[in-house]
Structures are given as structure tokens and as C-alpha cells.
Amino acid sequence: MTGGAGFIGSHLVDALLDEGREVVVIDDLTSGDARRLPTEARFEQVDITDRAALDRVVDEARPDAVFHLGAQSSVTVSVTDPQRDCAVNVGGTLNVLEAAGRHGAPVVFTSTGGALYGNAAPIPTREDRIPAPVSPYGASKWAGEAYIRTWAEAGGLPHAVCRLGNVYGPRQSPHGEAGVVAIFTYKLESGQAPQLYGHGRPTRDYVHVSDVVAALLLASGRAGVFNVATGVETPVSRIFELLREASGRQVEPVPAPLRVGELERSCLDPSRARDELGWTARIPLEDGVRSTYRALVSEFATAAGDG
């Protein structure tokens, strides 16, 4: 697995180990944290753009399946450094595909939903919508998808693409740009006023990390492109309200304009994943946000104690 020390990846590692699988994690720790990994998983600190190092680990592991979560996932970084974004999300994906192909291992590739479909897409958006990304990040993920699908056709392997909604849950870092639940929780817990970009009006499709992990497991060995989301459109202002209620703090947010490359609306149609994988998101937003708030507060306290 690539990106296994990340937020989503570490939860997937736990699930695979629970199934009795042997897990090898490849992560360069740009945004991952090796402390998230249980000792049962073998960890290799490798950049997926380093083909020789990647090949060494994969050929030694001889995997029967590959989950490819490693990525440059920051929209703003993709705008300021599109070359690096392309190198990781396109070149790195090609490296993973070729390494997996030598061992006949199907790949599950985690892509993006909103950043791929663009602002003009109908809501909720189906997988057959022609992508119109508004950021280099969206463009690089689309290119990565193209390699996944081409290599599936050429090699006869059932590679899958999972286009994720806005994933939230325990272990999410509050120091990035996309994890709004973690960011708001951190700000509220420290008594700071978070910024509401787009004045709180932008909408997203928020899906809990445990639901995402279930979808990724079901997608392994199944060819196709699948939206992994709830089909429910929620404004970011609602997320802030839920978290403020959970915190019991009377903090007012600071309205701010939408950042470059960010979408105004995003909501995905998950019916194909339901029909073909037998998957549906099970955790209601209100329950998931409240439980995530409690988990993150505990994590922040532990991190502060360790520091």
C-alpha cells in the first residue's frame, strides 16, 4: 500500500490487518506519520517517484493486491508547484502500476470527486460526467486515472478507481487545507476563530473514513470507476455549526473569500458503488462529526502531552 501512514491509509492498514492480511506500507512521510502504523505492518519510507526504490520494495513484497493512496493532495500546492504535483500523481502512479503489473496485482487508486468534476457538473455528479478540473491537482488525478484505466485494458487486470468525497474522521491532521472537520475542531478547542472560506457557502459531500475504507476493500479486484460518497450536499457552515455545538464554545467564524482552485459546490452520486460493489455510506453526518470531534480532541491532547 502506498500512502499507508496517512489519514485514510492508516485506517485501511488497520482493516487489512484485522482481515489477517500481511501489509507493506510505502510512504515518504511528506504528510503521513509513521506513528499511526501498528507494529504488525512493515513500513518502508519511499517516495513513489523514486522508481528504483519503489521497485525494490514491491518486488520483495510480491503483493497480491495494491492500494495506491500515496499522492500530492494539496490543491494550493498544486497551484504553486504543478511540476511536483504532476510528478507524484501522474509519474508516481505510473511507477506503481508497472510495479504492480509485474506481480499481477490489481490496483485500487484513490482519486478525487469534486476537484475532478469542476464547478459546472450537475449535482449530484455521476461517474460518466466528463471531468473539468479547476486545479492542477484535479488535472493530475484525472491523468492518473487515465493510466489506471489504460493499464487495466492493456494488462487485463481489474484495476479500480475510487473517487472520494470529502473524507473526515479520527487521525485527520488539522494543519492541512482540506480536512475542514479537523481544522475547525483544532481551532475551536484552542479558542481560535476559524476562517469560513467562501463565506461558508461552498458545499461538499462529507463521508466518514470508516465508510471509505469499507468501499476500498470492496473495490479491490473490481474493475471500474466508483464515486465513494454519501450523495448529500452540505455547506461548510453546517459543519462549523455541528462542531461548535459539540465543543460548547461560543466562537464566531471569520468569513473569507474562496481560495484559488477551490470549488463552489460538490456532491457525488454513489449509486454505482451501491449497485456494483454493494456499498453504501452508513454513518450519518451528525453522528460522524460529533464522534470525530471527541476523537480528535483526545488526539490533540495526547500530541500536546507528547510534545
146-191: per-residue pLDDT in tens?
999 999 999 999 999 999 999 999 999 998 767 899 999 999 999 9
Give the model's pLDDT for residue 307.
Answer: 55
Q: Could you say which residues of the chain have pLDDT below 70?
A: 177, 261, 305-307
The answer to whether residues 103 and 46 touch, using CB atoms and an 8 Å cutoff, is no
Gap between the Cα atoms of 42 and 68, Å rounded: 16
The CATH class for the domain spanning 7-171+206-231+267-283 reads: alpha beta
Q: Which three cell numbers stand for residue 79?
A: 497551484
Give the model's pLDDT for residue 75.
Answer: 84
Question: Which residues 6+ apart lie within 8 Å of 238 measured at CB?
Answer: none
Gap between the Cα atoms of 280 and 82, Å rounded: 34
Domain ranges of the chain: 7-171+206-231+267-283
Q: Which of 252, 115, 100, 221 has its CA nearest to residue 177?
A: 115
Gap between the Cα atoms of 8 and 179, Å rounded: 12
168 is catalytic: no
Q: Which H or E element spans position 240?
A: helix 236-247
The answer to whether residues 88 and 72 touch, using CB atoms and an 8 Å cutoff, is yes
Find how far residue 297's CA is from the centre of its chain. 21
Number of neighbours of residue 170 by Cβ within 10 angstroms: 18
Start-end of H helices in the chain: 7-18, 51-61, 75-80, 82-86, 92-101, 114-117, 136-155, 180-189, 209-219, 236-247, 271-272, 285-306
The answer to whether residues 72 and 111 touch, using CB atoms and an 8 Å cutoff, is no
Q: Is the torsion defined by CA of 69, 75, 78, 81 positive or negative?
A: negative
Give the model's pLDDT for residue 306.
Answer: 65
Give the model's pLDDT for residue 74.
Answer: 87
Gap between the Cα atoms of 307 and 301, Å rounded: 10
Gap between the Cα atoms of 290 and 169, Å rounded: 10
Give the model's pLDDT for residue 114.
Answer: 78
Catalytic residue (choose from 137, 168, 186, 206)? 137
pLDDT digits (tens, 9 = 90+) for 46-60: 999 999 999 999 999
Give the model's pLDDT for residue 258.
Answer: 85
Gap between the Cα atoms of 197 and 244, Å rounded: 17
Task: Report strand pairing: 42-45 vs 24-27.
Answer: parallel
Q: Which three cell numbers stand for residue 38?
A: 501498528
Task: Report strand pairing: 107-112 vs 160-164.
Answer: parallel
